[in-house]
Amino acid sequence: MERPAADVDLPTQYRPAEVEGELYERWVAAGLFSADPTSDPARPPFTIVIPPPNVTGSLHMGHALDHSIQDTLTRRRRMQGYETLWLPGMDHAGIATQNVVERELAKEGLSRHDLGREAFVEKVWQWKAESGGRILGQMRRLGDAVDWSREAFTMDEPRARAVRTIFKRLFDDGLIYRAERIINWCPRCLTALSDIEVEHSEREGELVSIRYGSGDASIVVATTRAETMLGDTAVAVHPDDERYRHLIGTEVELPLTGRRIPVVADEHVDPAFGTGAVKVTPAHDPNDFEIGRRHDLPSLTIMDERGVITVHGPFEGLDRFEARPAVVAALREQGRIVKEVRPYEHAVGHCQRCATVVEPRVSLQWFVKVEPLARAAGDAVRDGRVAVHPPEMASRYFAWVDNMHDWCISRQLWWGHRIPVWYGPDGEAFCAGPDEEPPAGWTQDTDVLDTWFSSALWPFSTLGWPDRTPELERFYPTSVLVTGYDILFFWVARMMMFGLYAMDGVAPFKVIALHGMVRDQYGKKMSKSFGNVVDPLDWIEEYGADATRFTLLRGANPGGDVPVAEDWAQGSRNFCNKLWNATRFALLNGANLDGDLPTELSPTDAWILSRLQNVTAEVDGHLESYEFAKACETLYHFAWDEVCDWYVELSKVPLGDERAPGTRRVLGEVLDRLLRLLHPMIPFVTEELWTSLAGADTLVTAAWPTAVPTLVSKDAEAEIESLQRLVTEVRRFRSDQGLKPGQRVAAALDFADSPLGAHEEAIRSLLRLTVPDDGFSATASLPVEGVTVRLDTAGAIDVTAERKRLEKDLAAARKEVDQTTRKLANADFMAKAPEAVVAKNRARLTQAEADIARLESQLAALPRA
């Protein structure tokens, strides 16, 4: 039965704020996002584990993009009949969280040392329960269709057990070791840092050239960190550098110290850089550390953990940045400065959390031996077990895993997974697994593990590993990892290494889908210092979650950065409103899904159904290729341009006559399929509209549409495209004549043998053309698409002004024909011009000739003044 108009209860306007929150909670309460590992085995699994945001974090545009992509993928697979699991959770964010809680304590005049380790950790857990995880609520506002019943945290008990298990296995396999190595050190956070926790930026420093030794036995080195010379234990040169070959194996005096240090030959020195000689400070530079190991050089630590000089003498007790100019001044006084200090741009590493300049430092730390793990991670992509998308990003991945250094995993913090190693009274060590107890009286290592260590287990620890749970059996490996290319090198590689190691060579995901960074509309990185940061919650509040998501997805090309602007969000809101108004119109006019489609279709109905099949196939292809921008553009233009601007308008005539039942059914079919296709991207507005149209409970679990080839009709598409060209041309003529869009004009239509004659009523409706009376006299005549449209524009236009305008356009068109004809007749031009340029000129000539014919016809149709 047809739905009567009285059943339509959609408001006249769509107000997202009144819909989204309540609708989301209804979805969650109904368990629509819950995954069942014991469901029908015929249902293929689809799994995404969310890249866990920091417990200290809040939703930013990068999150909004990342989550919109993951939600789109998950919602579509659910509609396709997959058993879907999108698993949420958070990362404990060791340094960031400890800093937050320490700042809170400082307000009370306390430090963590005042509380002690156990009480401080308890305080962090309390903060997490009360204030942490704000981003989880923000994910609900965005519409994340995650299985909240499986929410995980990198510090909860199941994840702690997984961490202990893999640490023990790696330790027993000789892949975890403790050693003195040079690491990134934050003098403010007082901990080692991983590479990803160090942000490099170009800074202007001062390059100082210093002479070591004297006379023929002297050598000049350049440095931006003059204070580190106090810890130099050698000068290195390239073995083939003729300038210094006589000095290799000799010693030079190190200024200010009285020590003599050797000149060593090392192939890693670049003789073309600077003076070709480098100072070697093994304890305070990673490259120098490697040179020191190759030449068995001593390693002298000259700073304490806070960056204060500890070398006995005039600089002792100075901060490293105070010591730098003091050392330069002392060298200048001794005449050791060869070149005066000059500005020098170079990359400086800063702590990601507190922005303190990082200090390379030799320290006793725990490391993962990555060589065999990284090789396996590279092989998994090379042999096709894991696909990187877009494929060109794979080279970046290989550049990292093929050149990875051993991973420093220990942190000098209190918040985190404590290293499960205990020491005996004689220094012996015992690594305890999750079900083991250390010997009585032994002392546990005070360090905690790098946050990335526990998050590297995320794809399988969240599914119950190390136990063989139903979830692990059904949902591992996960289907796709969606993340930004900026952490490809760090988190992604670590998950690959640990997943392959722990899961018997099975990679943690089948596809790595990389997206870019969100930037402003000018392509500039968002930064507080630039003043261009956009809070997605502001957009959600103003325009709705759907509009925010659609704006981001429309710019999401694989691997490419995503520009956004507020007026684009306004445009997305307008798109949602357009859908709302079109669907409401359709429902008020009885659009329905009752029964089968009509067996006899009008050309208009056949056209829109044909276009719907083509669009369905296009969107499917784009989404399978992670081409979210293309999928959104296809749906946007189909919905706005073809469904709303053409089909809805064309349907108004048959909705008022005997053809109404068939048109109502087709209109319902088109909107049903369109709303299903759009649902993964804009779930809220489509849910509201579809449930009103279908009379069903939810669109979340409705079937994903598939193209029906038998409904494709090239003839119908050609016929309606011809009608569109006719209407467009006459509308342009009306506009050129200065006629208002709603102004009715009498016109005679001569269809001759054109099939468009069957659409006369629709054409007249679209063009505001009335049937001429007996006194009709045409003042203009347009031959378009085999149809002659004769209009009476008398009194509606200024004939003299219109003739002048047309004559001006005609002169320009004739000039274009003359210029392009002469160019194409020029043998020299034709011989030298690229084929594309020649083709462009030929196209211009054809267009100009068509313009002349059209303009001459219009001039002939104008009445004489």
Q: Which residues sit in the known binding site?
A: 528
Cβ atoms of 342 and 206 closer than 8 Å: yes
Q: In Å, how far from its chain's centre is CA 670?
A: 31
Rounded Cα gap, residues 228 and 723, in angstroms:
79
Q: Are strands 251-253 and 152-153 parallel, antiparallel or unpaired?
A: unpaired
* Closest to 388 in 3D by CA, of 481, 229, 512: 512
Tokens of 566: 């507020």
- Residue 443 CB neighbour total at 10 angstroms: 11
- Residue whose pair of structure tokens reads 């090789």 in the numeric block: 375
Per the annotation, where are the binding residues for ATP? 528
CA 847 to chain centre: 42
| Contacts for 130-136: CB closer than 8 Å, 24+ residues apart | 132/55, 132/56, 132/90, 132/97, 133/55, 133/90, 134/57, 134/58, 135/53, 135/54, 135/57, 135/58, 135/59, 135/63, 135/90, 136/88, 136/90
Whole-number Å distance between alpha carbons of 702 and 79: 6
d(C-alpha 643, C-alpha 578), whole Å: 10
Long-range contacts of 711-714, Cβ-Cβ distance < 8 Å, separation of 24 or more: 711/606, 711/609, 711/610, 711/612, 711/613, 712/610, 712/613, 712/614, 713/606, 713/607, 713/609, 713/610, 714/610
CA distance from start to end of the chain: 60
Question: Are 239 and 265 within 8 A, CB to CB?
Answer: yes
646 Cβ contact partners less than 8 Å away, ≥ 6 residues apart: 720, 724
Q: How far apart are CA 753 and CA 733, in angstroms?
A: 23
Helix spans in 173-285 (H): none
- In three-state secondary structure terms, 551 is helix
Strand ranges of the sheet holding 429-431, from the earlier edge strand across to the other edge = 429-431, 421-423, 443-444
Smallest Cα–Cα separation from 759: which of 810, 804, 720, 809?
720
3-state SS of 351-392 is ECCCCCECEEEEEEEEEECCHHHHHHHHHHHHCCCCEEECHH
